[in-house]
Every structure is written in structure tokens, then in C-alpha cells.
Amino acid sequence: MTQPYLEHTLQQFDNKTAVIGIVGLGYVGLPLMLRYSQVGFKVIGFDIDTDKIDMLNRGESYIEHIAAADIQAACRQGFTATADFARISECTAVILCVPTPLNKYREPDISFVINTTDRVKPYLRPGQVLSLESTTYPGTTEEELLPRMQENGLCVGEDVFLVYSPEREDPGNPDFETRTIPKVIGGHTEACLQAGMALYQPAIDTVVPVSSTKAAEMTKLLENIHRAVNIGLVNEMKIVADKMGIDIHEVINAAATKPFGFVPYYPGPGIGGHCIPIDPFYLTWKAREYGVNTRFIELAGEVNSAMPDYVVQKTALALNQRQKALNGAKILVLGIAYKKNVDDMRESPSVYVMERLRDLGAEVAYSDPHVPVFPKMREHNFDLSSQPLTAENLASYDCVILTTAHDRFDYNLIARHARLLIDTRGHYREPQPHIVKA
């Protein structure tokens, strides 16, 4: 049986006449846009944030590790950003890169996916591929996107093609980029999978097909639950080791010399970013529909969520030993991005530490070379800007807490001039009287 729409779509990807539409121009969508532009495709970017659209069309970047020169090169290649979803009809492929956060009850909030699909669906036409990249629970693509695509009489698998291909971005990691990170793809039908493979193969070095959209959705969750569980384990081990007077980082580094059966994970003040703190709850929520209680995953979540409180407790004890109360103490938090060398603050444990300190009466400030001004966030509110790291400034605080170990920090300066230094990252290995490991 011939499939004229499929054959035409495959040909467009092969000869690069396809137009790629990317919806959501954040940490996932923007690098993907750059990659498609670099390999010769025309790309249309869609976003509801008009400030972002204006900046991109001026050739400016709002993400630290993405250079303005790369945006300008994409514009010369034909890239344009818009809030006009009617232009979806111009695209051969539509890739959804929108947020999937949790609500206040720690349940999945897929409203961004649903609302975006609703905005896209009036402009879908035969021959198009719709790909969801947002992390979500198994079944989302079939339960939410499939019926919406077919509302106007289009047949998925014959007229249009539906795939799920989870994002795997690691912002700030110089060892991996969009092109070199293998791409998992699941299609609703075999024809959908063919279309999805053809979409991603020109831009990604290695494409990994799986049997269904559900398998692809579960793959993404397993990847991040694997990290969340192992980080939870090593965070718990840190607490035990601390009680026993053992340096957990020394233990991890020694264990990592074993050439098989061990992968090193490192403790910290909690977990952050747009995936690891959130994704496990997508699976635990969906598992309840099948009568399964994911106790192991939820326990790791409890351990990781408690780490900011552990840091605050260690800070309070250290101040108390120096005859200083936490209430009224001047505290400087070093690094408020969720991981080192990026400006991404989503779910950053540093912010939770700051909030707990503030609620207990501390006077909180921060220093972060990647975040000059504390941004507007949905759940967190601080009217602060980054403090300069000088000898005089460091010495003016009762306590300094290292929460995100950016490479740009002068660690010798910090150690010399901080009166009390709480190290949540194990950066300072040699014992010093004023440095407390947390």
C-alpha cells in the first residue's frame, strides 16, 4: 500500500526543503533550532513570550551558554520567531518543547502541552509530523495529542504523523551537544516512526527507535529516575558518613576506582533543574492508575527534598557553636543556579536553602557570576542582585554557604576570608576549623 503523504514528507526531510517548526524557545527548543539551522533547514520558532521573540529576531540571546552570534547565523539562514500560530501550516514538522511542571500537590501539570496542542491543531494539514519532546508520563502522546490531531478528520499514520522523542539537553556540558546526544523516538504507527526518524536523522548523529510512544516516554522517566534514586542514595550516605566522621567524597572517589559495578554520584544541597526533581513524580502519579505504589522512587524523592533543611540545620549548628544565632545572621549563598556553570535556576535547591534561612530570620544575600539579578520566578521572590566576591565583602558575613560550585568562583579567596564556610559540594577536601561540610 503506497502512502503518498509519507513518501512526500520523507523526501522533504531528505532534500532539506522541509520547514521545521519549534514551539517553545527555551533551554530545549533554542539549541534544537540552532542545530536544524546549521544543517540547512528553514526553521520557524513559536513562543508566547513576545520579549523572547523580539530578542531572537534582533539576533540576541537570553540564554547564557548560547551565543548571540549563533542566533544571528540562524537568522541569516532564514530563521524567524513568531507568536502567530497560523504559521504552523507552513511547517513540515512541528516539535513541541514546552514545560511540564508539577502543580502544588506534586502532580503532573501538562496544561502547557494540552494548550499548545490546542493552538497547533487548527493549522495541521496532511503530510505534517508532530513530535512531543516534553517529559511526561507514559500514555500522554496517545491520550492527549492523538485525539486532538484527529479532530479535524486527519488520520494519524496516513495523513499526519505523531511521534514522541524526549529531549536530552544538558546545558553547560561541553562534552555533549544536541547533535551528539543520541535521540530516542517512538511512533504511534510504523509510518509515524519512519517520519520521525526522517525528521531527526539529518540533525542528530544517532537516532534510537523504540516500539511505541509509551516506551519512549518511559525511557525518559527511567533515565532521570535512575539519577534521582542514586543521588538520593548518596545524599543519605552523606548524612551517615558525616555522623561517623567520614568524608563521603573520599569514599566515593575510592569506590569509583572499581572498574565495574559502580557509577559515582555526588551529594549536594538537593536536586534541581527541569527534569530530575520533577520526572519521578510523573511516573509515581501514573503508576497509581495501575494500582502500583512506587515506594522506592518516592523515598528517594523524600531524601532529596529534605537536603535543603539538612543544610540549614548544619548552618544553624555551626553558628551556634560560634555563639551566633541564625536569627539575624548575615549569610551569603554562593551559587543559585541549579548546577555549576549555567544560569538556569529551575528547581534550584539553593533557592530553597535561601527561603528557609530567610524564614528563620537570617539576612540572606547571594553571589553568582551567571545570575546577576535574581529573576522573577513563579514560586520564589527575592529582590536581590549578585554580590561581588571581595575579601572585605566575604569577611562581612557571619556565614558563607557554597551551594553551587561554579568554576568562576575564586575558592582560595573564599576560604581565606569567609569567617564560617558551609561546603555542601565537597569542594574543600582538607579539614579547616572554619569550614563545615554539609
Quick: pLDDT tens for 300-334.
999 999 999 999 999 999 999 999 999 999 999 99
Q: What's the mean pLDDT when you consider all of the chain?
A: 95
The strand ranges marked E within 289-373 are 330-334, 363-367
Please confirm, yes or no, whether 75 is among the known catalytic residues: no
Residue with cell 540545620: 313
**382, exposed or middle or buried, with CB in 10 Å at 0-12, 13-18, 19+?**
middle
* Grid coordinates of 56: 531572537
pLDDT category, 358, cuts 50, 70, 90?
A: very high
Band of pLDDT at residue 2, cut at 50, 70 and 90 = low
The predicted pLDDT at position 157 comes to 96
Q: Specify the DSSP element, H or E, that contains 432.
A: none
Q: How many CA atoms lie within 13 A of 135 on its CB side?
A: 25
Each domain of the chain, given as residue ranges in start order, spans 4-211, 250-437
**Euclidean distance between the first and the last CA atom of the chain, given in angstroms as a whole number:** 64
Whether residue 344 is predicted with pLDDT greater than 80 in this model: the reply is yes
Which string of DSSP letters, residue by residue, matches 115-172? HHHHHHGGG--TT-EEEE-S---TTHIIIIIHHHHTTTS--BTTTBEEEE------TT
Lowest-confidence segment of 202-211, 287-296, 409-418 by average pLDDT: 287-296
Q: What is the pLDDT of residue 164?
A: 98
H or E stretch covering 102: none
Supply the pLDDT for residue 193.
Answer: 98
Q: CA nearest 160: which of 227, 101, 107, 93?
A: 93
Dihedral sign computed on CA atoms, order 433, 271, 383, 363: negative
- Residue 272 — very low, low, confident or very high, per pLDDT cuts 50/70/90? confident
Instruction: Give which of 207, 121, 203 is closest to 162, Cα–Cα.
Output: 121
Checking if the pLDDT of 91 tops 60, the result is yes
Q: Are 66 and 31 in contact (CB under 8 A)?
A: yes
What is the structure's pLDDT at 346? 87
In angstroms, the CA 151 to CA 20 distance is 23
Is it the case that residue 34 has pLDDT exceeding 90?
yes
Residue type (1 letter), 141: T
What is the mean pLDDT of the segment spanning 262-276? 89
Work out the average pLDDT over 242-248: 95
Class of domain 250-437: alpha beta
| 363 contacts 277 by C-beta, under 8 angstroms | no
**Per-residue model confidence (pLDDT) at position 81:** 98
Catalytic choice (97, 192, 275, 399): 275
Question: How much is the pLDDT for 281?
Answer: 87
The CA-based angle 221-309-372, given to 5 degrees, is 80
* Residue found under cell 518516592: 298
To the nearest 10 degrees (0 to 180), the angle between helices 349-359 and 307-321 is 50
Of residues 64 and 275, the one with the higher pLDDT is 64
pLDDT at res. 55: 97
Q: Check residue 106 and give its pLDDT.
A: 80
Q: Please tell me the predicted confidence (pLDDT) of residue 172.
A: 73
The string of pLDDT tens digits covering residues 40-60 is: 999 999 999 999 999 999 999
Q: Average pLDDT, stretch 5-9?
A: 95
Note whether 4-211 and 250-437 share their fold.
Answer: yes
**Is the pLDDT assigned to residue 243 strictly greater than 70?**
yes
Calculate mean pLDDT across residues 349-376. Answer: 96
Class of 4-211 per CATH? alpha beta
Q: How confident is the model at residue 105 (pLDDT cuts 50, 70, 90)?
A: confident
pLDDT of residue 13: 97
pTM assigned to the model: 0.91
Checking if the pLDDT of 1 tops 70, the result is: no
